[in-house]
Protein backbone atom coordinates (compact mmCIF):
# COMPACT_ATOMS: atom_id res chain seq x y z
CA UNK A 1 0.00 0.00 0.00
CA UNK A 2 2.58 2.52 1.13
CA UNK A 3 4.63 2.60 -2.09
CA UNK A 4 1.46 2.83 -4.14
CA UNK A 5 0.58 6.34 -5.25
CA UNK A 6 -2.70 7.51 -3.82
CA UNK A 7 -5.72 7.94 -6.05
CA UNK A 8 -8.67 10.29 -5.70
CA UNK A 9 -10.59 7.38 -4.17
CA UNK A 10 -7.88 6.77 -1.50
CA UNK A 11 -7.71 10.42 -0.54
CA UNK A 12 -11.52 10.56 -0.44
CA UNK A 13 -11.72 7.71 2.06
CA UNK A 14 -8.78 9.02 4.12
CA UNK A 15 -10.46 12.39 4.44
CA UNK A 16 -13.81 10.84 5.37
CA UNK A 17 -12.04 8.71 8.00
CA UNK A 18 -10.29 11.79 9.40
CA UNK A 19 -13.72 13.31 9.85
CA UNK A 20 -14.53 10.59 12.36
CA UNK A 21 -16.58 8.25 10.18
CA UNK A 22 -16.17 4.51 10.62
CA UNK A 23 -19.20 3.27 8.66
CA UNK A 24 -20.70 3.95 5.26
CA UNK A 25 -23.96 2.58 3.93
CA UNK A 26 -24.59 1.91 0.29
CA UNK A 27 -24.75 -0.20 -2.81
CA UNK A 28 -22.17 -0.19 -5.61
CA UNK A 29 -22.45 0.14 -9.38
CA UNK A 30 -20.18 0.85 -12.33
CA UNK A 31 -19.34 4.45 -11.58
CA UNK A 32 -18.37 3.84 -7.95
CA UNK A 33 -16.16 0.77 -8.49
CA UNK A 34 -12.88 2.74 -8.20
CA UNK A 35 -13.98 3.90 -4.75
CA UNK A 36 -15.22 0.41 -3.81
CA UNK A 37 -11.76 -0.88 -4.71
CA UNK A 38 -10.20 1.57 -2.28
CA UNK A 39 -12.76 0.56 0.39
CA UNK A 40 -11.41 -3.01 0.26
CA UNK A 41 -8.23 -2.13 2.19
CA UNK A 42 -9.59 0.79 4.18
CA UNK A 43 -10.49 0.79 7.90
CA UNK A 44 -13.91 2.28 7.14
CA UNK A 45 -16.67 -0.37 7.18
CA UNK A 46 -18.93 -0.54 4.18
CA UNK A 47 -22.43 -1.79 4.96
CA UNK A 48 -24.05 -3.28 1.88
CA UNK A 49 -27.77 -2.52 1.73
CA UNK A 50 -30.41 -3.96 -0.58
CA UNK A 51 -31.68 -0.64 -1.93
CA UNK A 52 -30.19 2.84 -1.92
CA UNK A 53 -33.25 4.30 -0.17
CA UNK A 54 -32.53 1.87 2.67
CA UNK A 55 -28.92 3.11 2.76
CA UNK A 56 -30.06 6.71 3.02
CA UNK A 57 -32.38 6.02 5.97
CA UNK A 58 -29.69 3.92 7.68
CA UNK A 59 -27.27 6.83 7.43
CA UNK A 60 -30.05 9.02 8.80
CA UNK A 61 -30.69 6.70 11.76
CA UNK A 62 -26.95 6.50 12.41
CA UNK A 63 -26.77 10.29 12.44
CA UNK A 64 -29.82 10.85 14.66
CA UNK A 65 -28.62 8.24 17.17
CA UNK A 66 -25.12 9.72 17.46
CA UNK A 67 -25.15 13.32 16.22
CA UNK A 68 -22.35 12.40 13.78
CA UNK A 69 -22.95 12.69 10.03
CA UNK A 70 -24.24 9.54 8.36
CA UNK A 71 -22.43 8.64 5.14
CA UNK A 72 -23.84 6.97 2.03
CA UNK A 73 -21.79 5.59 -0.84
CA UNK A 74 -23.83 4.97 -3.98
CA UNK A 75 -23.44 4.78 -7.71
CA UNK A 76 -24.57 7.12 -10.47
CA UNK A 77 -27.96 7.25 -12.19
CA UNK A 78 -30.62 5.10 -10.50
CA UNK A 79 -28.33 4.51 -7.52
CA UNK A 80 -28.27 8.22 -6.86
CA UNK A 81 -31.94 8.89 -7.64
CA UNK A 82 -32.97 6.11 -5.25
CA UNK A 83 -31.50 8.13 -2.40
CA UNK A 84 -33.46 11.32 -3.11
CA UNK A 85 -36.28 10.41 -0.70
CA UNK A 86 -33.78 9.79 2.06
CA UNK A 87 -31.95 13.03 1.34
CA UNK A 88 -35.20 15.00 1.41
CA UNK A 89 -36.07 13.31 4.71
CA UNK A 90 -32.73 14.37 6.19
CA UNK A 91 -33.06 17.92 4.89
CA UNK A 92 -36.57 18.34 6.33
CA UNK A 93 -35.49 17.11 9.76
CA UNK A 94 -32.05 18.82 9.83
CA UNK A 95 -30.02 15.60 9.90
CA UNK A 96 -26.29 15.68 9.06
CA UNK A 97 -25.59 13.43 6.09
CA UNK A 98 -22.84 13.17 3.49
CA UNK A 99 -23.67 11.46 0.22
CA UNK A 100 -20.83 10.21 -1.97
CA UNK A 101 -22.26 9.55 -5.39
CA UNK A 102 -20.29 7.93 -8.18
CA UNK A 103 -20.66 9.62 -11.55
CA UNK A 104 -19.87 8.94 -15.19
CA UNK A 105 -16.46 10.15 -16.37
CA UNK A 106 -16.13 13.92 -16.71
CA UNK A 107 -15.88 13.66 -20.51
CA UNK A 108 -19.25 11.88 -20.57
CA UNK A 109 -21.20 14.40 -18.50
CA UNK A 110 -24.26 15.75 -20.24
CA UNK A 111 -24.13 13.17 -23.03
CA UNK A 112 -26.87 10.81 -21.76
CA UNK A 113 -24.25 8.13 -21.17
CA UNK A 114 -25.04 4.90 -19.33
CA UNK A 115 -26.32 5.49 -15.78
CA UNK A 116 -25.62 9.18 -16.04
CA UNK A 117 -27.96 11.35 -14.00
CA UNK A 118 -27.47 14.99 -13.14
CA UNK A 119 -27.83 14.30 -9.43
CA UNK A 120 -26.63 17.78 -8.48
CA UNK A 121 -29.31 19.30 -10.67
CA UNK A 122 -32.00 17.01 -9.30
CA UNK A 123 -31.10 17.55 -5.68
CA UNK A 124 -30.60 21.34 -5.41
CA UNK A 125 -33.94 21.92 -3.64
CA UNK A 126 -33.38 19.18 -1.04
CA UNK A 127 -29.75 19.55 0.02
CA UNK A 128 -27.95 21.97 2.28
CA UNK A 129 -25.15 22.10 -0.27
CA UNK A 130 -23.59 20.01 -3.04
CA UNK A 131 -20.37 19.56 -4.99
CA UNK A 132 -19.66 18.23 -8.45
CA UNK A 133 -15.95 17.52 -8.33
CA UNK A 134 -14.14 17.82 -11.64
CA UNK A 135 -10.57 18.23 -10.37
CA UNK A 136 -9.16 15.38 -8.23
CA UNK A 137 -7.17 17.89 -6.17
CA UNK A 138 -10.45 19.39 -4.93
CA UNK A 139 -11.49 16.15 -3.21
CA UNK A 140 -9.97 16.63 0.27
CA UNK A 141 -11.08 20.23 0.55
CA UNK A 142 -14.59 19.41 -0.66
CA UNK A 143 -14.94 16.47 1.76
CA UNK A 144 -13.82 18.59 4.71
CA UNK A 145 -16.20 21.34 3.71
CA UNK A 146 -19.03 18.85 3.20
CA UNK A 147 -18.62 17.43 6.72
CA UNK A 148 -18.36 20.89 8.21
CA UNK A 149 -21.47 22.14 6.42
CA UNK A 150 -23.46 18.96 7.10
CA UNK A 151 -22.79 18.92 10.83
CA UNK A 152 -22.71 22.59 11.89
CA UNK A 153 -25.34 25.32 12.02
CA UNK A 154 -28.66 23.79 11.08
CA UNK A 155 -27.44 20.36 9.98
CA UNK A 156 -28.42 18.86 6.64
CA UNK A 157 -27.39 16.65 3.74
CA UNK A 158 -24.45 17.47 1.46
CA UNK A 159 -23.87 15.61 -1.82
CA UNK A 160 -20.49 15.02 -3.41
CA UNK A 161 -20.81 13.88 -7.01
CA UNK A 162 -17.54 12.23 -8.04
CA UNK A 163 -16.87 11.27 -11.67
CA UNK A 164 -15.10 7.97 -12.20
CA UNK A 165 -11.98 9.53 -13.75
CA UNK A 166 -11.65 11.88 -10.78
CA UNK A 167 -11.74 8.93 -8.37
CA UNK A 168 -9.19 7.07 -10.50
CA UNK A 169 -6.74 9.95 -10.87
CA UNK A 170 -3.41 9.75 -9.04
CA UNK A 171 -3.00 12.70 -6.68
CA UNK A 172 0.15 14.34 -5.39
CA UNK A 173 0.23 14.66 -1.64
CA UNK A 174 0.64 18.45 -1.67
CA UNK A 175 -3.09 19.14 -1.92
CA UNK A 176 -4.85 21.89 0.01
CA UNK A 177 -7.61 20.64 2.29
CA UNK A 178 -8.43 23.79 4.23
CA UNK A 179 -12.04 24.85 4.54
CA UNK A 180 -12.84 28.10 2.75
CA UNK A 181 -16.49 29.07 3.07
CA UNK A 182 -16.92 32.84 3.09
CA UNK A 183 -20.70 32.54 2.52
CA UNK A 184 -21.36 30.11 5.38
CA UNK A 185 -22.06 31.01 8.98
CA UNK A 186 -21.80 28.01 11.28
CA UNK A 187 -22.65 29.84 14.50
CA UNK A 188 -24.51 33.14 14.54
CA UNK A 189 -23.49 35.68 17.17
CA UNK A 190 -25.94 36.10 20.02
CA UNK A 191 -27.81 39.33 20.58
CA UNK A 192 -27.52 39.83 24.33
CA UNK A 193 -30.01 42.72 24.45
CA UNK A 194 -32.69 40.58 22.85
CA UNK A 195 -31.85 37.72 25.22
CA UNK A 196 -32.34 40.09 28.16
CA UNK A 197 -35.71 41.21 26.74
CA UNK A 198 -36.73 37.58 26.33
CA UNK A 199 -35.64 36.77 29.88
CA UNK A 200 -37.79 39.59 31.18
CA UNK A 201 -40.78 38.42 29.15
CA UNK A 202 -40.39 34.86 30.46
CA UNK A 203 -39.84 36.02 34.05
CA UNK A 204 -43.02 38.13 33.97
CA UNK A 205 -45.28 35.60 32.25
CA UNK A 206 -48.14 34.23 34.32
CA UNK A 207 -48.86 31.24 32.07
CA UNK A 208 -45.70 30.43 30.12
CA UNK A 209 -45.06 27.23 28.16
CA UNK A 210 -41.99 25.92 26.33
CA UNK A 211 -42.34 24.24 22.95
CA UNK A 212 -39.20 22.16 22.46
CA UNK A 213 -38.10 20.84 19.08
CA UNK A 214 -35.37 18.91 17.30
CA UNK A 215 -33.06 21.94 17.32
CA UNK A 216 -32.77 21.69 21.10
CA UNK A 217 -31.68 18.05 20.83
CA UNK A 218 -29.23 18.77 18.01
CA UNK A 219 -27.54 21.52 20.03
CA UNK A 220 -27.35 19.37 23.17
CA UNK A 221 -29.52 21.76 25.17
CA UNK A 222 -31.10 19.08 27.37
CA UNK A 223 -29.17 19.83 30.57
CA UNK A 224 -29.61 23.59 30.56
CA UNK A 225 -33.24 23.16 29.52
CA UNK A 226 -33.88 20.93 32.53
CA UNK A 227 -32.26 23.47 34.84
CA UNK A 228 -34.37 26.30 33.44
CA UNK A 229 -37.65 24.35 33.43
CA UNK A 230 -37.19 23.25 37.02
CA UNK A 231 -35.91 26.61 38.30
CA UNK A 232 -38.75 28.47 36.61
CA UNK A 233 -41.45 25.82 37.05
CA UNK A 234 -42.63 26.14 33.46
CA UNK A 235 -44.58 23.36 31.72
CA UNK A 236 -43.18 22.06 28.45
CA UNK A 237 -44.49 20.36 25.37
CA UNK A 238 -42.23 18.79 22.78
CA UNK A 239 -42.70 18.37 19.05
CA UNK A 240 -42.57 14.91 17.47
CA UNK A 241 -38.84 15.38 16.87
CA UNK A 242 -38.26 17.11 20.19
CA UNK A 243 -39.21 14.00 22.16
CA UNK A 244 -36.50 13.17 24.67
CA UNK A 245 -34.88 16.56 25.07
CA UNK A 246 -36.73 16.91 28.35
CA UNK A 247 -37.91 13.73 30.12
CA UNK A 248 -41.46 12.91 29.03
CA UNK A 249 -42.12 11.21 32.36
CA UNK A 250 -41.37 14.46 34.18
CA UNK A 251 -44.51 16.01 35.76
CA UNK A 252 -43.93 19.27 33.86
CA UNK A 253 -43.90 17.57 30.44
CA UNK A 254 -47.19 17.52 28.55
CA UNK A 255 -45.96 15.38 25.66
CA UNK A 256 -46.50 16.21 22.02
CA UNK A 257 -48.92 18.93 20.85
CA UNK A 258 -50.54 19.37 17.47
CA UNK A 259 -52.69 17.38 15.07
CA UNK A 260 -52.46 14.16 17.09
CA UNK A 261 -50.93 15.60 20.21
CA UNK A 262 -52.22 15.19 23.71
CA UNK A 263 -55.38 17.13 24.52
CA UNK A 264 -53.69 18.69 27.55
CA UNK A 265 -50.72 19.97 25.53
CA UNK A 266 -53.07 21.54 22.99
CA UNK A 267 -55.25 23.04 25.71
CA UNK A 268 -52.23 24.46 27.48
CA UNK A 269 -51.11 26.10 24.24
CA UNK A 270 -54.57 27.60 23.78
CA UNK A 271 -54.51 28.99 27.35
CA UNK A 272 -50.92 30.17 27.78
CA UNK A 273 -49.84 33.81 27.78
CA UNK A 274 -46.32 33.12 26.47
CA UNK A 275 -44.99 30.36 24.25
CA UNK A 276 -41.25 29.96 23.83
CA UNK A 277 -40.22 27.79 20.90
CA UNK A 278 -36.80 26.27 21.46
CA UNK A 279 -35.55 24.84 18.18
CA UNK A 280 -39.02 24.06 16.89
CA UNK A 281 -40.23 25.69 13.69
CA UNK A 282 -44.02 26.07 14.16
CA UNK A 283 -44.58 23.18 11.77
CA UNK A 284 -48.05 23.10 10.20
CA UNK A 285 -48.84 19.91 12.16
CA UNK A 286 -48.69 22.13 15.25
CA UNK A 287 -49.48 25.63 13.96
CA UNK A 288 -51.79 24.74 11.09
CA UNK A 289 -53.38 28.15 11.20
CA UNK A 290 -50.44 30.48 11.92
CA UNK A 291 -52.54 33.60 12.58
CA UNK A 292 -54.81 31.86 15.10
CA UNK A 293 -52.02 29.84 16.70
CA UNK A 294 -51.65 30.98 20.33
CA UNK A 295 -53.15 34.32 19.25
CA UNK A 296 -53.69 35.16 22.93
CA UNK A 297 -50.02 34.68 23.81
CA UNK A 298 -46.72 36.44 23.33
CA UNK A 299 -44.17 34.44 21.37
CA UNK A 300 -40.42 33.97 21.56
CA UNK A 301 -38.58 31.88 19.00
CA UNK A 302 -35.08 30.48 19.45
CA UNK A 303 -33.64 29.05 16.24
CA UNK A 304 -30.18 28.78 14.69
CA UNK A 305 -31.69 29.38 11.25
CA UNK A 306 -32.60 33.01 10.66
CA UNK A 307 -35.00 31.92 7.91
CA UNK A 308 -37.28 30.32 10.49
CA UNK A 309 -37.85 33.50 12.49
CA UNK A 310 -41.22 34.93 11.40
CA UNK A 311 -41.43 32.41 8.53
CA UNK A 312 -44.92 31.27 9.50
CA UNK A 313 -45.83 32.41 12.99
CA UNK A 314 -45.01 36.05 13.71
CA UNK A 315 -43.07 36.37 16.97
CA UNK A 316 -42.45 39.12 19.51
CA UNK A 317 -38.81 38.21 19.98
CA UNK A 318 -36.65 36.11 17.65
CA UNK A 319 -33.37 34.85 19.08
CA UNK A 320 -31.04 33.57 16.38
CA UNK A 321 -28.48 31.17 17.75
CA UNK A 322 -27.63 27.70 18.89
CA UNK A 323 -30.34 26.65 21.37
CA UNK A 324 -27.86 25.56 24.04
CA UNK A 325 -25.86 28.80 23.83
CA UNK A 326 -29.01 30.93 23.92
CA UNK A 327 -30.48 29.06 26.91
CA UNK A 328 -27.21 29.27 28.83
CA UNK A 329 -27.14 33.04 28.37
CA UNK A 330 -30.85 33.37 28.99
CA UNK A 331 -30.61 31.44 32.25
CA UNK A 332 -28.45 34.19 33.78
CA UNK A 333 -31.18 36.80 33.41
CA UNK A 334 -34.23 34.73 34.40
CA UNK A 335 -36.09 35.36 37.63
CA UNK A 336 -38.59 32.76 38.81
CA UNK A 337 -42.20 33.84 38.91
CA UNK A 338 -45.00 32.09 40.77
CA UNK A 339 -46.49 29.76 38.17
CA UNK A 340 -48.19 27.40 40.63
CA UNK A 341 -51.71 28.46 39.63
CA UNK A 342 -50.88 27.84 35.96
CA UNK A 343 -49.35 24.45 36.75
CA UNK A 344 -52.56 23.58 38.58
CA UNK A 345 -54.63 24.50 35.51
CA UNK A 346 -52.40 22.45 33.26
CA UNK A 347 -52.53 19.47 35.60
CA UNK A 348 -56.30 19.67 35.58
CA UNK A 349 -56.24 19.45 31.76
CA UNK A 350 -54.01 16.41 32.09
CA UNK A 351 -56.33 14.77 34.60
CA UNK A 352 -59.55 15.58 32.76
CA UNK A 353 -58.45 14.71 29.22
CA UNK A 354 -56.03 11.77 29.40
CA UNK A 355 -55.00 9.68 26.42
CA UNK A 356 -57.27 6.68 26.29
CA UNK A 357 -58.24 3.64 24.27
CA UNK A 358 -60.33 0.53 24.76
CA UNK A 359 -58.20 -2.19 26.33
CA UNK A 360 -60.88 -4.87 26.28
CA UNK A 361 -62.05 -6.76 23.22
CA UNK A 362 -60.07 -6.66 20.02
CA UNK A 363 -56.33 -6.22 19.91
CA UNK A 364 -55.49 -2.52 19.85
CA UNK A 365 -52.34 -1.00 18.38
CA UNK A 366 -52.18 1.40 21.34
CA UNK A 367 -52.23 -1.54 23.75
CA UNK A 368 -49.35 -3.29 21.96
CA UNK A 369 -47.30 -0.07 21.89
CA UNK A 370 -47.96 0.78 25.52
CA UNK A 371 -47.07 -2.75 26.60
CA UNK A 372 -43.86 -2.64 24.55
CA UNK A 373 -42.96 0.56 26.37
CA UNK A 374 -43.80 -0.94 29.77
CA UNK A 375 -41.64 -3.97 29.07
CA UNK A 376 -38.73 -2.45 27.15
CA UNK A 377 -38.60 0.77 29.15
CA UNK A 378 -37.19 4.10 28.18
CA UNK A 379 -33.50 3.21 27.86
CA UNK A 380 -34.18 2.06 24.33
CA UNK A 381 -33.80 3.65 20.92
CA UNK A 382 -37.25 3.72 19.36
CA UNK A 383 -37.63 4.39 15.67
CA UNK A 384 -40.93 4.62 13.84
CA UNK A 385 -42.35 4.64 10.38
CA UNK A 386 -45.04 7.06 9.29
CA UNK A 387 -48.76 6.82 9.86
CA UNK A 388 -51.19 5.92 12.63
CA UNK A 389 -48.71 3.68 14.45
CA UNK A 390 -46.25 6.59 14.50
CA UNK A 391 -48.75 8.88 16.19
CA UNK A 392 -49.78 6.24 18.71
CA UNK A 393 -46.12 5.56 19.44
CA UNK A 394 -45.53 9.29 19.93
CA UNK A 395 -48.48 9.39 22.33
CA UNK A 396 -47.77 6.29 24.41
CA UNK A 397 -43.99 5.94 24.39
CA UNK A 398 -42.36 8.35 26.81
CA UNK A 399 -38.85 9.30 25.82
CA UNK A 400 -36.62 10.45 28.64
CA UNK A 401 -33.26 11.08 26.97
CA UNK A 402 -32.18 12.82 23.77
CA UNK A 403 -31.55 10.70 20.65
CA UNK A 404 -33.70 7.83 21.91
CA UNK A 405 -36.51 8.70 19.48
CA UNK A 406 -36.00 8.57 15.71
CA UNK A 407 -38.92 9.36 13.43
CA UNK A 408 -39.44 11.04 10.07
CA UNK A 409 -41.22 14.28 10.93
CA UNK A 410 -41.14 16.97 8.26
CA UNK A 411 -41.00 14.65 5.28
CA UNK A 412 -43.29 11.95 6.66
CA UNK A 413 -41.36 9.30 4.77
CA UNK A 414 -42.97 5.86 4.85
CA UNK A 415 -40.29 3.17 4.77
CA UNK A 416 -38.05 5.16 7.12
CA UNK A 417 -38.55 3.22 10.36
CA UNK A 418 -36.86 -0.11 9.77
CA UNK A 419 -33.71 1.06 7.93
CA UNK A 420 -33.26 3.93 10.40
CA UNK A 421 -33.32 1.32 13.17
CA UNK A 422 -30.55 -0.58 11.35
CA UNK A 423 -28.48 2.62 11.22
CA UNK A 424 -29.10 3.32 14.90
CA UNK A 425 -28.21 -0.25 15.91
CA UNK A 426 -25.03 -0.11 13.81
CA UNK A 427 -24.08 3.12 15.56
CA UNK A 428 -24.97 1.82 19.03
CA UNK A 429 -24.35 -1.94 19.04
CA UNK A 430 -24.88 -2.22 22.79
CA UNK A 431 -28.24 -0.47 22.90
CA UNK A 432 -31.66 -2.05 22.56
CA UNK A 433 -33.36 -0.86 19.37
CA UNK A 434 -37.08 -1.20 18.74
CA UNK A 435 -38.72 -0.09 15.53
CA UNK A 436 -42.44 0.42 15.36
CA UNK A 437 -43.74 0.08 11.82
CA UNK A 438 -47.02 -0.22 9.97
CA UNK A 439 -47.75 -2.89 7.38
CA UNK A 440 -47.89 -0.23 4.65
CA UNK A 441 -44.64 1.49 5.59
CA UNK A 442 -42.67 -1.66 6.34
CA UNK A 443 -43.27 -3.08 2.88
CA UNK A 444 -41.55 -0.09 1.30
CA UNK A 445 -38.09 -1.03 2.63
CA UNK A 446 -38.45 -4.57 3.98
CA UNK A 447 -35.72 -5.89 1.70
CA UNK A 448 -33.31 -4.55 4.34
CA UNK A 449 -34.24 -7.61 6.42
CA UNK A 450 -31.23 -9.17 4.65
CA UNK A 451 -28.98 -6.35 5.89
CA UNK A 452 -30.22 -6.81 9.46
CA UNK A 453 -29.91 -10.62 9.33
CA UNK A 454 -26.43 -10.63 7.76
CA UNK A 455 -25.17 -8.18 10.38
CA UNK A 456 -26.96 -10.08 13.20
CA UNK A 457 -28.63 -6.94 14.46
CA UNK A 458 -31.00 -7.72 17.35
CA UNK A 459 -33.61 -5.15 16.26
CA UNK A 460 -37.18 -5.72 17.41
CA UNK A 461 -39.51 -4.94 14.54
CA UNK A 462 -42.95 -4.31 16.00
CA UNK A 463 -45.29 -4.46 13.03
CA UNK A 464 -48.76 -3.06 13.66
CA UNK A 465 -50.67 -4.84 10.99
CA UNK A 466 -54.16 -3.50 10.29
CA UNK A 467 -54.09 -4.37 6.59
CA UNK A 468 -54.79 -0.75 5.75
CA UNK A 469 -52.96 2.43 4.91
CA UNK A 470 -54.50 3.45 8.20
CA UNK A 471 -53.92 7.19 8.32
CA UNK A 472 -55.39 7.76 4.86
CA UNK A 473 -58.27 5.45 5.78
CA UNK A 474 -58.83 7.57 8.89
CA UNK A 475 -59.05 10.79 6.85
CA UNK A 476 -61.39 9.16 4.32
CA UNK A 477 -63.43 7.85 7.21
CA UNK A 478 -63.69 11.18 9.02
CA UNK A 479 -63.67 13.76 6.25
CA UNK A 480 -64.68 11.93 3.04
CA UNK A 481 -67.80 10.06 4.18
CA UNK A 482 -65.82 6.83 4.57
CA UNK A 483 -65.34 6.56 0.80
CA UNK A 484 -62.31 4.27 1.16
CA UNK A 485 -60.14 4.43 -1.92
CA UNK A 486 -56.74 2.86 -2.43
CA UNK A 487 -56.17 2.03 1.22
CA UNK A 488 -56.95 -1.70 1.49
CA UNK A 489 -53.68 -3.61 1.67
CA UNK A 490 -55.21 -6.80 0.32
CA UNK A 491 -52.40 -9.10 -0.72
CA UNK A 492 -50.16 -8.47 2.29
CA UNK A 493 -47.72 -11.34 2.70
CA UNK A 494 -47.75 -13.69 5.64
CA UNK A 495 -45.21 -11.70 7.65
CA UNK A 496 -44.09 -14.72 9.69
CA UNK A 497 -43.23 -16.65 6.55
CA UNK A 498 -41.57 -13.52 5.21
CA UNK A 499 -39.37 -13.19 8.30
CA UNK A 500 -38.52 -16.83 8.12
CA UNK A 501 -37.64 -16.59 4.41
CA UNK A 502 -35.06 -13.97 5.31
CA UNK A 503 -33.77 -16.01 8.22
CA UNK A 504 -35.26 -13.71 10.84
CA UNK A 505 -37.22 -14.79 13.89
CA UNK A 506 -40.96 -14.19 13.79
CA UNK A 507 -43.67 -13.78 16.43
CA UNK A 508 -47.37 -13.13 16.09
CA UNK A 509 -49.92 -11.50 18.38
CA UNK A 510 -53.62 -11.87 17.66
CA UNK A 511 -55.25 -11.49 21.10
CA UNK A 512 -54.83 -8.83 23.72
CA UNK A 513 -54.25 -11.51 26.32
CA UNK A 514 -51.10 -12.60 24.45
CA UNK A 515 -49.45 -9.19 24.16
CA UNK A 516 -47.32 -9.33 27.26
CA UNK A 517 -46.16 -12.90 26.84
CA UNK A 518 -45.14 -12.54 23.20
CA UNK A 519 -43.43 -9.19 23.63
CA UNK A 520 -41.44 -10.53 26.59
CA UNK A 521 -40.25 -13.44 24.51
CA UNK A 522 -39.37 -11.20 21.57
CA UNK A 523 -37.43 -8.80 23.80
CA UNK A 524 -35.30 -11.70 25.01
CA UNK A 525 -34.39 -12.81 21.49
CA UNK A 526 -31.03 -11.27 20.61
CA UNK A 527 -29.51 -13.58 18.01
CA UNK A 528 -30.65 -11.32 15.20
CA UNK A 529 -33.64 -9.29 14.11
CA UNK A 530 -37.11 -10.43 15.06
CA UNK A 531 -40.42 -9.40 13.63
CA UNK A 532 -43.54 -9.23 15.76
CA UNK A 533 -46.63 -9.31 13.60
CA UNK A 534 -49.37 -7.73 15.72
CA UNK A 535 -52.66 -8.23 13.90
CA UNK A 536 -54.61 -5.29 15.28
CA UNK A 537 -58.11 -3.86 14.99
CA UNK A 538 -58.51 -2.49 11.49
CA UNK A 539 -60.75 0.50 12.03
CA UNK A 540 -59.26 2.42 14.93
CA UNK A 541 -58.65 6.12 14.45
CA UNK A 542 -56.00 8.24 16.14
CA UNK A 543 -57.45 10.73 18.61
CA UNK A 544 -57.23 13.48 19.63
CA UNK A 545 -57.21 14.97 16.16
CA UNK A 546 -57.07 18.56 15.00
CA UNK A 547 -58.55 18.71 11.48
CA UNK A 548 -56.11 19.76 8.78
CA UNK A 549 -55.64 23.53 8.61
CA UNK A 550 -57.63 24.19 11.80
CA UNK A 551 -56.41 25.81 15.00
CA UNK A 552 -55.74 23.69 18.08
CA UNK A 553 -59.05 24.72 19.72
CA UNK A 554 -60.90 22.75 17.01
CA UNK A 555 -59.47 19.50 18.39
CA UNK A 556 -61.69 16.40 18.21
CA UNK A 557 -61.29 14.15 21.24
CA UNK A 558 -62.98 11.05 19.89
CA UNK A 559 -65.21 9.81 17.12
CA UNK A 560 -68.00 12.39 16.82
CA UNK A 561 -71.58 11.41 17.59
CA UNK A 562 -72.77 13.40 14.62
CA UNK A 563 -70.70 13.84 11.49
CA UNK A 564 -71.72 17.54 11.57
CA UNK A 565 -69.24 18.16 14.38
CA UNK A 566 -66.43 17.71 11.90
CA UNK A 567 -67.58 20.48 9.62
Partner 1 sequence: MNNNIEKHSISLYVNNKPGVLIRTSLVFARRGYNIDSLVVSNDSNNPKFSRMNIEATGDTDTLHLMLAQLNRLVDVIHARDLSGEDILQKELSLVKLECPIEKRTELLQIAEAFSAKTIDLTENTITFQIAGSSEKLNRAETLLHGYKIKEIVRTGKVLMTRGEEATA
- Secondary structure letter of residue 412 according to DSSP: -
Q: In the complex with partner 1, which residue's Cβ is closer, 182 or 549? A: 182
Of 359, 363, 357, the closest CA to residue 466 belongs to: 363
Q: In the complex with partner 1, which residue's Cβ is closer, 170 or 307? A: 307
Distance CA 495, CA 250 (A): 37
- Any residues with CB less than 8 A from the CB of 133 and at least 6 apart, and which? 139, 142, 160, 161, 162, 163, 166
From the CB of 309, what's the least distance to partner 1, in Å? 8
Considering only 23, 196, 311, 516, the residue that binds partner 1 (CB under 8 A) is: 311
Q: Judge whether 302 and 184 are in contact, CB under 8 Å.
A: no
Q: In the complex with partner 1, which residue's Cβ is closer, 312 or 454? A: 312
Does 306 bind partner 1 (CB under 8 A)? Our answer is yes
328 part of the active site: no
C-alpha distances in angstroms, 262 versus 12, 13, 267, 288, 545? 48, 47, 9, 16, 9
Q: In the complex with partner 1, which residue's Cβ is closer, 176 or 249? A: 176
Considering only 4, 110, 174, 183, the residue that binds partner 1 (CB under 8 A) is: 183
From the CB of 154, what's the least distance to partner 1, in Å? 8
Q: In the complex with partner 1, which residue's Cβ is closer, 184 or 475? A: 184
Distance CA 50, CA 282 (A): 36
From the CB of 378, what's the least distance to partner 1, in Å? 36
Considering only 35, 87, 92, 149, the residue that binds partner 1 (CB under 8 A) is: 149
Q: In the complex with partner 1, which residue's Cβ is closer, 150 or 365? A: 150
Does 353 bind partner 1 (CB under 8 A)? Our answer is no
Handedness of CA 409, 411, 416, 420 (dihedral sign): negative
Of 504, 500, 499, 393, the closest CA to residue 438 belongs to: 393
Strands 129-132 and 236-238: unpaired
52 part of the active site: yes
Does 139 bind partner 1 (CB under 8 A)? Our answer is no
Does 250 bind partner 1 (CB under 8 A)? Our answer is no
Does 469 bind partner 1 (CB under 8 A)? Our answer is no
Does 128 bind partner 1 (CB under 8 A)? Our answer is yes
24-32, 50-58, 176-184, 509-517 -> range binding partner 1 (CB under 8 A)? 176-184
Of 551, 471, 464, 476, the closest CA to residue 257 belongs to: 551
Q: How many residues would you count in the chain?
A: 567
From the CB of 215, what's the least distance to partner 1, in Å? 15
114 part of the active site: yes
C-alpha distances in angstroms, 30 versus 36, 75, 101? 10, 7, 11
Distance CA 166, CA 106 (A): 8
Binding residues with partner 1: total (CB under 8 A): 18
115 part of the active site: yes
Residues designated catalytic: 52, 114-115, 164, 471
Q: Can you give the binding site for partner 1, defined by CB under 8 A? A: 120-121, 124-125, 128-130, 132, 149, 181-184, 305-307, 310-311
Amino acid sequence: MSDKKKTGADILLDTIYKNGVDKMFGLPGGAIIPIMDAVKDHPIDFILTRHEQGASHMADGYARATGKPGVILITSGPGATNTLTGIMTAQMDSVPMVIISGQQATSNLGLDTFQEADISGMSYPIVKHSYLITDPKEIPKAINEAFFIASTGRPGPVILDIPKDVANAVIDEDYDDTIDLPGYLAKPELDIDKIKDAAQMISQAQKPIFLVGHGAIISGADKILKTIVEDMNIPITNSLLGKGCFPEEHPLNLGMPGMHGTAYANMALCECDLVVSIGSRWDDRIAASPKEFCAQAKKIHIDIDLVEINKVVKVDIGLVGDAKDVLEKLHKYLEPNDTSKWIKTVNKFRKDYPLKYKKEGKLRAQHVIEEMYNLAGSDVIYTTDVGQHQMWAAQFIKINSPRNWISSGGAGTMGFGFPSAIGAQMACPDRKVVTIVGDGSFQMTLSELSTAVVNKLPIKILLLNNRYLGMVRQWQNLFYENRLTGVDLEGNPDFLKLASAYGAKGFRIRRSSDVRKVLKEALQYNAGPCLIDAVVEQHDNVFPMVPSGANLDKMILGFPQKRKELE
